[in-house]
Structure 1
Amino acid sequence: MKLLSLSKDLKEKKLKDYIVKNKESFYKIAYSYVKNEYDALDIVHDAICKALSKIDTLKDTDNIKPWFYKILINTTTDYIRKNKKYIVVSDDVLEDSKIDYDKYSDIDLLRAVDSLDEIYKTVIILRYFEDMKIEDIAKTLDQNISTIKTRIYKALSKLKIKIDIKREDG
């Protein structure tokens, strides 16, 4: 019994350390979906609470990244489903934002990623913005590796088309 609680305490400590080190990445992912600072903060807070309450389901602390990202993405998806009341904000408002970490250097790329279907958007964000390995993405999304590779390939194809169209228009 004492060994089990020690294990739980160790998991909690590793989780807390991981959260502190990566909180901005979590915020960026949530923000990329909801485009609202306060909603993104709520999502991250909820995901952290869920992770702490489900710490017993973490079997190996080496898998903390895919385990937490799965919770974060599911929390984000649930939040979006429950709150389908988003207002489209003009680009001027977004560009006037004073928060540096809400801005990305390539706005066309972000718009293109944002316009993807959720299954493609998620794999692109995890792979290229969060630098996750394909195996970790597969664990996070409960999919097999070949499915993830196919989704990444399709998403990149769609992004190339959208960005090429933008260049032709611009």
Structure 2
Amino acid sequence: MYTKKDVQKAKKGNKKALENILQTERTKMYQIAYLYVKNQADALEIVQEAVFKAFISMHTIRDSAQVSAWLKQIVIHAAIDYIRKHRKVTPIIHEQMEAIADKPVDLDQQIDLYNLLDELDEKQKSIIILKYFEGYRDREIAIIIGCPEGTVKSTLHRTLLRLRQKFQKEDCANE
């Protein structure tokens, strides 16, 4: 765990303090990256890029209490940049889903859900991941992605409606 003193030291260029912060946040950073690319090597590359970006811009952090959100925002942007640059679709295999799944869900439904997530735009996907995979509240999501809380709520509502409709259509088609 890191303290506000660690954040202040890191802002001044203390590498040990920054390392302490990154060690604390690394698992969450990896999980977010993995949810975007569904591949361990690519997720690690995204985290590495995010760590580099955090290292060179640590002095810009304004609020010591928001370091975690700031790092997640860097990871999200790095993941989106990576996807844009590489434009590849990675199939999901059972072992990969087990690594990120917390709740027991029917495997077919889980695959359908992840496929539907891939159809969302970056903003919609970020909001869904932060809300339902990472457990953030709407206000925290707004800070991370840099938009008003009302926008998060309305985007979340529209996205969930869209996902439900697509999921129901696929269920009906499979019956």
Name the TM-score, length of structure 2 as normaliser: 0.77
- Residue 167 in structure 1 maps to residue 171 in structure 2: yes
* 1:14 Cα deviation from its structure 2 partner: 6.3
Measure the CA separation in 1 of the matches of 2:55 and 2:125.
27
Residue pair 2:142, 2:152 contacting (<8 A) in 1 also = yes
Where does residue 110 of structure 1 map in the other structure? Answer: 114
Instruction: Give aligned pairs, total.
Output: 161
The CA RMSD measured in Å over matched residues stands at 2.7
* 1:27 Cα deviation from its structure 2 partner: 1.7
1:39-85 Cα offsets, whole Å, 9 max, x none, are 1100011101211221111112211122111111111111122222x
1:113-160 Cα offsets, whole Å, 9 max, x none, are 232222211101011111112122112212111111111101110111
Residue pair 2:73, 2:145 contacting (<8 A) in 1 also = yes
Stretches of 4+ aligned residues off by more than 4 angstroms: 10-15, 102-105
Give the secondary-structure state (helix, strand or coil) at the position aligned to 1:157.
helix
Q: 2:159 aligns with which of 155, 161, 165?
A: 155
Measure the CA separation in 1 of the matches of 2:6 and 2:120.
44
* 1:16 to 1:166, Cα distance in 2 relative to 1, 3 A: farther
Amino acid at match of 2:167: I
Name the % identity.
Answer: 30
Where does residue 126 of structure 1 map in the other structure? Answer: 130
Structure 2 stretches lacking a partner, 5+ long: none
* 1:58 to 1:88, Cα distance in 2 relative to 1, 3 A: closer
Residue pair 1:14, 1:61 contacting (<8 A) in 2 also = no
Measure the CA separation in 1 of the matches of 2:49 and 2:7.
24
- Residue 56 in structure 1 maps to residue 67 in structure 2: no
